[in-house]
Amino acid sequence: MRRRLRECFRIIQRNLADFISVAALGEVVKISIGPEKKLYTIHKDLICHHSEYFRAAYNGRWKESEDGVELEDVEPEVFGIFVHWLYLQRMPKNDRSLFHLTGSDIPKHNRLLLLKACVFGDRFMAFSFKKAAHNQYIDSSNFVLWYEHVIYAFGNLAGDDLLLKAMVGLHCYQWSPDQDEEDELALRAELPHSFLVSVMIRQQELLTALWDTYSFDVCQYHLHDSNEERQACAQCTPE
């Protein structure tokens, strides 16, 4: 079974490499990011292949644009993570890789950028990128939960998004009143009503069950396209 999975992965890699090689020969487009208008030059076929938003836009209102595209409300660091994934087909796997992309060595800030990358993938309909960013955020730093992240996620993702459920589940699993430091205490009043209600409901569900059998299963909050992928996920495989 593992041999078959490895062979399938090699085939996908070869096909992907062929696609990127062809796309790299095609037209390039300019995209201006953020208020500072940081300019990116991207291969059009590549970004259109991975984003329904850009595919529709470049065949529609931007088709004849000579000035390029401007996205002033997107942070360059977030777009940089997207470009990294676009050309390498993998997320930055550790803090050192994130530092090279973001210029920040603060884990909390870089985790927030990963969260914003999830929102970017959702907004621009780059669903494979969103899945990669989502799973990377879940796995990063044992998925430490900060209120700033909760506020941003609940303000920018749909109510049924799995990442929101993950935040509720983790809060119920790990939180205690004495662990919030000064910065977190100051943000308590800004916590979204929907988050607090979801926490109340989930806590009641857990109280009804046996507490000593409850654990925070990371893999139930990964995005998987199929049961086969779920079974192959390293986080999902029992020891």
Instruction: Please provide the average confidence, as pLDDT, over all residues in the chain.
Output: 84
pLDDT value of position 63: 59
pLDDT digits (tens, 9 = 90+) for 145-199: 899 999 999 999 999 999 999 999 999 988 988 889 999 999 999 999 999 999 9
Residue 157 sits in the same domain as residue 136: no
pLDDT value of position 207: 79
Residue at which a domain ends, from 142, 164, 189: 142
Number of domains, the chain: 2
Residue 30 per-residue DSSP state: E
Residue 37 sits in the same domain as residue 110: yes
Examine the pLDDT at 90 and tell me if it is beyond 60.
yes
Residue 222 sits in the same domain as residue 149: yes
Residue 214 per-residue DSSP state: -
Residue 8 sits in the same domain as residue 81: yes
pLDDT value of position 11: 47
Residue 90 sits in the same domain as residue 134: yes
CB of 148 closer than 8 Å to CB of 187: yes
Secondary structure tally for the chain: helices H, strands E: 12, 3
**167: CB partners within 8 A, 6+ apart:** 145, 149, 150, 153, 154, 195
Residue 129 sits in the same domain as residue 50: yes
Conformational region of residue 142, where left means phi above 0, alpha means psi within -120 to 50, and beta covers everything else: left
Q: Report the percentage of the chain scoring pLDDT > 90.
A: 52
pLDDT digits (tens, 9 = 90+) for 122-145: 999 999 999 999 999 998 866 678
CA distances from 153 to 12, 65, 125, 192, 227 (A): 32, 33, 17, 10, 27
Residue 212 sits in the same domain as residue 158: yes
Residue 176 sits in the same domain as residue 94: no
Rounded Cα distance, 35 and 13, in Å: 36
Rounded Cα distance, 184 and 177, in Å: 11
The pTM for the full model equals 0.79
pLDDT value of position 75: 96
Residue 121 sits in the same domain as residue 24: yes
Residue at which a domain ends, from 142, 170, 195: 142
Residue at which a domain ends, from 142, 174, 194: 142
Average pLDDT score over residue span 102-127:
91
Domain range for 118: 1-142
Average pLDDT score over residue span 18-45:
80
Residue 65 sits in the same domain as residue 179: no
Tokens 């070869």 sit on residue: 14
Residue 55 sits in the same domain as residue 132: yes
Residue 7 sits in the same domain as residue 41: yes
